[in-house]
Structure 1
Amino acid sequence: MTASGRIVFSRMEEVIFGRPAAEALAELVERLGAARVFLMVSGTLNRETDEIEKLRRALGNKCVGTFDRMPAHSPRSAVIAAAEQAREARADLIVTLGGGSITDAAKAVQLCLSNDVRTVDDMDRIRGAVDVKPPTVRQISIPTTLSAGEFSAIAGVTNEATKVKEMFRHPLTIPQAVVLDPEVTRHTPMWLLLSTGIRAVDHCVEGVCSNESNEFSNASSLHGLSLLARGLARVKADPTDMAARLDCQTGSWLSMAGLAAGVPMGASHGIGYVLGAVFDVPHGHTSCIMLPWVMRWNKPANADRQALIASAMGHPGEDAGDVLDRFIRGLDMPRTLSDVKIGREHFDRIAQQAMGTPWVPRNPRPIPTPAEVKEILELAA
């Protein structure tokens, strides 16, 4: 039977790679005609490096404010604070420089601005709603990590009251442009850069292994995985290797082609959402811990897909779960739940909450109840 399907392309307009971020940003702002640019950036980079000042100098009097207080996992209260500051500054463009939490928060800020959301409780109006007003203030992202959220129209925001990571989305919340400059990643702690690289590996792997993948998404994911497998090891061996860092950034970009086109992720992402929101485990570490165990649990359902993963990582004919396990250990990343102080007493809650994520119900090996999630957690204990 002839295959059929549908590829949904994003509303991103361009990606600039391998050029100094400030230089590329100045050209983008000029081209877009923006006059009031609001920065959402890493507090550490703002305090301890000159990277943010470089952006301010490049923007000149077009820079109308800076927000640098976004915690990990993008809590609602901080999103509201950033939105209020952007509103007061009458921003017509948001520029982010930092990791995934800042990128996601800015996407949510876009929706807060266009829908007059001013309080934490007001955010309920735009979560999952079909009649959300589209953003009128768009975003440019300059990522310093590799988790690749800048290539998605989905914003993950943590509800502090429930400790649940919620998704906010609109096709136009995806950044209008992304600048990939390997030099700005020099300040990123090595554990954070490498672990978010594994997050991108997770996108590639779960995309290829999905029952809903397609030839377009597989091509991007497999080449992205190959770039990441080579690049991450090279960056660890030589942190000054900018070509390797750019390979990782490119692999990270390619890792999102499937997800952006509508291919669902699986249990590694679903369980990871809960580990991040409830236990504050960094995104990258959730993938380092869960992905090989999910692969082993899924193997009865997709051994043929898993063979593609092992080949892309340079180990044809080997078990993909084992290949991933060795690779992640080689980067000195955590590999078990006990490594991040999560014990069996939490497994019931994790399993129940994971069932409510978008990804666990679409895992390639069916997960009809929390009991199957607990089987995976036991492997990862």
Structure 2
Amino acid sequence: MSALSTTVHESSDLTGSYAYTELKQVYYGPGIVETALPTLLQKLGAKKALVVTGKSLHDKTDVIKQIEAILRKHDAYGDVFYEIGEHAPVAGIKNGLQKFKDAGADIIVAVGGGSPIDASKAILYNLQQETGGEFHRQIAIPTTLSAAEYTVGAGFTNEQGVKVAVSDQKLAPAGVILDAKLTLATPERLWLSTGIRALDHAVEGLYRALIPPPLKYLFYASIADLFKYLPQSKANPQDVDVRQKLQIASWMSLWPIKPERYSALGLSHALGHKLGAAYGIPHGITSCLTLAPVVALQATAVSVEDRKWLADTLFYLRIPSQGSEEKDILALSEAIAKLVEDLGLRTTLAQYKVPQEDVTKIAEKALGKSDNPLYPKVVRILENLY
């Protein structure tokens, strides 16, 4: 995540470009993994897969057993690696790379949330750096709504506990399988909070640089569906159709794009990256903390054009305009805060034992420097999260 060095930027205008990433195919539907996984393996010419996942998913559910059974049925099972922790510590990356080699694998099937999917990208990146050859590919089977499967970058935590990133177009998963049945075992708090993470992607995409206008209408659809279906999923966690709609909303929240140059998502994400690994706060929860107050700040911080993109969100949420763009953005902030509250996800920095004396340091790191005009306002946001 690059530093945010300006208070006002233009996210899009009437001149630009769009290109898709290296993602080859997305399969979606309850139970579709049975046919989609072998089909993707065949299309990619893959012979042996290493399954990469987290310990909880491996030990406490039968999801990984289902994936292993499909791979064995098609003679494509190599091994399983489940030493991937939250925020993908680098020790797990190194061990996973060795496991990939030992298994004689030529592809990774990543199953779970953002950590195993990002860790798989990091494993494949390090393998390519070591061999100098072509990138091996990944098939992602997400069980949360964090949308890591649609990006070309991978965040992991180094030995000093600092989140670092690698990026390459070839790191985008070659295939994604959205099977809502596989999400039924996902803990409620993880499922719902990563839904807020998806909301964070969609909202910040409205003022992210280099995003073509058509994608912003996908973001509006994503926002509307997340507001509609997250409460329904909380009320009835076993409703597979609702969960499938949420997976599609997550896809729309971070629609794959190959921009001409890198563009950071926004301040909520920048703060989340600085809070997450350093203080052990899950990515979904960082969005629950930061998104609403950051949106309120944007009522005056973003450009005139971006202000309109944000304000128009109310139309898609069926919330009446408050009479001005600034008031509409503040109403959007309040709606996000209420959604977080209604989902039972309201939390504080104090609950995660973030020292109050670290507030200025976090703000400075998120913005890149303390003389940024937004610095005092960001410090105030963080102080209000205790």
**TM-score in terms of structure 2 length:** 0.87
Q: Which moved more, 1:370-379 or 1:68-77?
A: 370-379
Q: Which moved more, 1:327-336 or 1:301-310?
A: 301-310
The residue aligned with 1:57 is 69
Paired amino acid for 2:112: G
The residue aligned with 2:20 is 9
- Write the distance in 1 (CA, Å) between the matches of 2:16 and 2:175: 27
The residue aligned with 1:126 is none
Q: Provide, for residues 302-334 of structure 1, a one-character-per-residue CA deviation record: whole Å limited to 9, x for no partner.
A: 442332233333323251111111111110102
Give the counterpart of 1:115 among 129, 139, 142: 129
The residue aligned with 1:151 is 150
Give the counterpart of 1:315 among 311, 316, 319: 319
- Write the distance in 2 (CA, Å) between the matches of 1:176 and 1:241: 29
* Residues 1:248 and 1:367: Cα distance change in structure 2 (over 3 Å): farther
The residue aligned with 2:136 is 137
Paired amino acid for 2:232: R
The residue aligned with 2:180 is 182
- Write the distance in 1 (CA, Å) between the matches of 2:45 and 2:209: 43
- Write the distance in 1 (CA, Å) between the matches of 2:112 and 2:222: 21
SS at match of 2:313: helix
SS at match of 2:17: coil
- Write the distance in 2 (CA, Å) between the matches of 1:9 and 1:172: 12
SS at match of 1:155: strand
* Residues 1:219 and 1:258: Cα distance change in structure 2 (over 3 Å): farther
What is the RMSD of the two structures over their aligned residues, measured on CA atoms?
Answer: 2.3
Displacement of 1:70 after TM fit?
0.4
- Write the distance in 2 (CA, Å) between the matches of 1:258 and 1:176: 12
- 1:287-302 matches, within 5 Å, as 287-302=287-302
Displacement of 1:11 after TM fit?
0.6
Displacement of 1:348 after TM fit?
2.0
* Partners of 2:30 and 2:244 within 8 A in 1: no
- Write the distance in 2 (CA, Å) between the matches of 1:143 and 1:229: 20
Displacement of 1:50 after TM fit?
2.1
SS at match of 2:84: coil
Q: Provide, for residues 87-139 of structure 1, a one-character-per-residue CA deviation record: whole Å limited to 9, x for no partner.
A: 1222111001111100000001111111118xxxxxxxxxxxxxxx5753100
The residue aligned with 1:334 is 346
Displacement of 1:264 after TM fit?
3.2
* Partners of 1:205 and 1:221 within 8 A in 2: yes
Q: Which moved more, 1:291-300 or 1:209-218?
A: 209-218
* Partners of 2:21 and 2:256 within 8 A in 1: no
- 1:359-370 matches, within 5 Å, as 367-368=372-373, 370=375
The residue aligned with 1:242 is 240
Displacement of 1:231 after TM fit?
1.3
Q: Provide, for residues 37-70 of structure 1, a one-character-per-residue CA deviation record: whole Å limited to 9, x for no partner.
A: 1110232222222221221221113211110110
Q: Which moved more, 1:56-65 or 1:194-203?
A: 56-65
Paired amino acid for 1:13: K
Q: Does residue 98 of structure 2 align to residue 84 of structure 1?
A: yes
* Partners of 1:110 and 1:135 within 8 A in 2: no
Give identity over the alignment, percent.
31
SS at match of 2:184: helix
Q: Does residue 279 of structure 2 align to residue 279 of structure 1?
A: yes
Q: Does residue 380 of structure 2 align to residue 375 of structure 1?
A: yes
- Write the distance in 1 (CA, Å) between the matches of 2:355 and 2:135: 45
Q: Which moved more, 1:189-198 or 1:237-246?
A: 237-246
Q: Does residue 310 of structure 2 align to residue 306 of structure 1?
A: yes
SS at match of 2:233: helix
Q: Which moved more, 1:192-201 or 1:58-67?
A: 58-67
* Partners of 2:20 and 2:257 within 8 A in 1: no
Q: Provide, for residues 151-200 of structure 1, a one-character-per-residue CA deviation record: whole Å limited to 9, x for no partner.
A: 00010111131x22111011010100000000111000000000000000
- Write the distance in 2 (CA, Å) between the matches of 1:375 and 1:134: 48
Displacement of 1:341 after TM fit?
3.1
Displacement of 1:213 after TM fit?
3.9
* Partners of 1:111 and 1:134 within 8 A in 2: no
- Write the distance in 2 (CA, Å) between the matches of 1:19 and 1:320: 32
- 1:146-225 matches, within 5 Å, as 146-161=145-160, 163-210=161-208, 212-225=210-223
The residue aligned with 2:324 is none
* Partners of 1:135 and 1:172 within 8 A in 2: no
* Partners of 2:55 and 2:85 within 8 A in 1: no
Q: Provide, for residues 257-311 of structure 1, a one-character-per-residue CA deviation record: whole Å limited to 9, x for no partner.
A: 2766465311100000011021010000000000001111121134423322333
Paired amino acid for 2:185: H
The residue aligned with 2:59 is 47
Paired amino acid for 1:3: L
- Write the distance in 2 (CA, Å) between the matches of 1:296 and 1:369: 13
* Residues 1:260 and 1:136: Cα distance change in structure 2 (over 3 Å): closer
* Partners of 1:315 and 1:323 within 8 A in 2: no
| Higher RCO (C-alpha under 8 Å, 6+ residues apart) | 2
Q: Which moved more, 1:140-149 or 1:228-237?
A: 228-237
Count of residue correspondences: 358
* Partners of 1:212 and 1:264 within 8 A in 2: no
* Partners of 2:21 and 2:257 within 8 A in 1: no
For structure 2, which runs of at least 5 residues remain unmatched after alignment? 1-12, 322-327
* Partners of 1:104 and 1:155 within 8 A in 2: yes
Give the counterpart of 1:36 among 40, 48, 52: 48
